[in-house]
Structure 1
Amino acid sequence: MTTIETPLSTFELLESEVRSYCRGWPVVFDQARGSHLWSEDGRRYLDFFAGAGSLNYGHNNPVLKRALLDYLERDGVTHGLDMATTAKRAFLESFHDLVLKPRDLPYKVMFPGPTGTNAVESALKLARKAKGRESVVSFTNAFHGMTLGSLAVTGNAFKRAGAGIPLVHGTPMPFDDYLDGQVPDFLWFERLLADTGSGLNHPAAVIVETVQGEGGINVARPEWLRGLAALCARHDMLLIVDDIQMGCGRTGSFFSFEEAGITPDIVTVSKSISGYGLPMALTLFRPELDLWEPGEHNGTFRGNNPAFVTATAALHAYWADQETELRTRRLGELVEQRLLALCAEHTGTSCRGRGLVWGVEFEDPARASEVCARAFERGLLLETSGPEGEVVKLLPALTVSEAELDEGLDILDRAVRASD
């Protein structure tokens, strides 16, 4: 008998069962450009996932690609550990001149390793080192990464269970509006801090996402973030903002916390900082927190020079003026209008978001998965988020055209109608 292999046979046979995205999008992709991917059989897909927010400037952005190819063709350093290289210098100078200085942010820059979770791990370690305390407060429905320290401040029970050991030294508190406005902001948190009988060890730091991406597109109000910053200052706790998915312009401004007018003590950045989908991460912190001994936190691939090259090109192409921020906000308003209209037509739905990160929540979580499946059939890539997978998440590239945005929202609308 002849065995007929499917396009996915190799992956099913040889790759671990841990794979996930390929199950929802069961095709083999071959090419990508801008806001589109093409499967090996030539079908075009509109991408509203953007590498989980790692491709804010689209696939194979031509400006970034040209810079990368030029660098590789002249035999520029590819792997550099934490050695001084021209590529790293160009990035540091550009990041300072185009991002930090205009925003009056005093941060030192650390390259902790190539992934977001490594940035979080280094932030937690630094906070504990600076304060001499172990406990860190996080928030309900938070997601900060898959390594043990990051999982300890992550809320999702399924992901936490994968650790296989107790996750300690982290305490969850209610995120903004978690209690539906029935309790004043931080009432419980502040009471625990003030009461010596509460059993809460004095935290070294608080870690927060301004918009919880994996947690369900939960958007913190600016006043809630300002209240949290003030609480941290009153109680000698460092404020860590995890801007791994929401930074690099996703919400409009380069950093998602800018709207709230706060200056966190530590900020973690990854995903779209390279601009090209190349692994890269930053941990930013106030100069007085630069307490590291040489090599105290390191990693073999923290000097990913091709990522420095594309990151520098992205900064000059998109952050030398306010055009990217203004355009993202304008497109976000268009998305909001369309989603509000969609939810008004369909019972059991609601929407929320900022800039170009939006979520449509379904009272029946199964509908969210069905909507993503029906959207895929129609050529649109979407994913779910939230503790029960009840939210359809929209993460189009910041470079998406209005026509592409309309096309994707039209497909989403048809997918929702088909799920009624």
Structure 2
Amino acid sequence: MKLTEEDRHFTTFITPYGWFLHYRGPMGFTATGDTFCLRGDMALQGVQNCVKVIDNLLLYDEDYITYLHHIHEVLTRCRKFWITLNKDKFVVVTPTVNFCGYNLSGDGISADQQNLSPCPPVLALFDQDLPTVLQTDVSHLNGIGYALLQDHGNGHLHLVQCGSHFLTDAEAHYATIKLEMLAIVSAMTKSVRRAGKLLCVLVPLSRAPVSYPTQEDEFSGVSSAVHLRTVIAMNTVTLSNESSAQDANKILQDLRDAARADPAYTRLLDCVTSGLPRMVTDGDLVLYGARVVVPATLRRRTLSHLHDSHRGVEATKCRARQSVFWPGIDYDIVNMVRAYKACQILQPSQQQESLINDANPTRPFESVSADFFVVTRKACLVVADRLSG
């Protein structure tokens, strides 16, 4: 299909040898396919017993002579409108024909088996009296998959539930043993493990996860280990390498004493106990995810411990996000770091470098720019010509 002269410049493309344009509609151009279908419909308009789907034609009749007349009429129309037919796909007088994914015959219409994907396994109902197996698998580059199965006798495992989700950016950097544990915890909170090569259901799930982690995933499993997380969190903030377990116990006891003496903290504890989402309790303490909610009387001391290495605002915020929480903690960290005179005096000077401009190119591909970027966990290379953009 020829393009009008005034529209040919819209198809211009650049090569190392110069600029080129199309004189006819290029393959893959949306308007080309639409125009092709429209012209084909107009060319065969009025032909009886003719079915056209994009570039597929089907002719049918009740008797042989009429059928041949229709074939002659279609071929005449194709010659008139310069339509070329594929001789390898041209079939005349056949009892069965495959057309648009269906098999047509005198017995009726049936789906083409080659186009049918395998049916997914039917989920079985959970039976608490049957042996249950929870299988998990993890892919370092993609995500987590799990399957809950039950043995219905003679080693026949029936699928009860399965699922998968992508890894977060932080989880993608976990060690393998931590990822395996993460997969187990995630699977157990959603619903006897086997070797990886035997997990026929899980390997595809972990290699091709179908969803991203939800807030429920991020906060699931917290209540099962809140006391351990409390100890670890406070060790991260307050203890040096020489500190002992007795120091940790003393810090936790100070937290509990301060919590019991704080009326606002006590009301928060009652709300969490009544079912406040995204928070759990550990005795007299409240945890926001894996972070300890610090009573008001201990916040200044906690800020001092967070900043004991004098690493700046962002590093201090990052340390706090791993261990402690209270409303407005980021704002308090910014004010504390900026008010610390020694940090302001010794901070590195950020001198802005002058912008260096290269000479403008004079021809296509004389100067190009290239860079790598990652989208949906796939590495891509982008190259741009500086002259044409």
- TM-score, length-normalised on structure 1? 0.18
- TM-score, length-normalised on structure 2? 0.19
More strand by share: 2
> Per chain length, whose mean CA-contact separation is higher, i.e. which structure has more relative contact order (CA < 8 Å, sep 6+)?
1
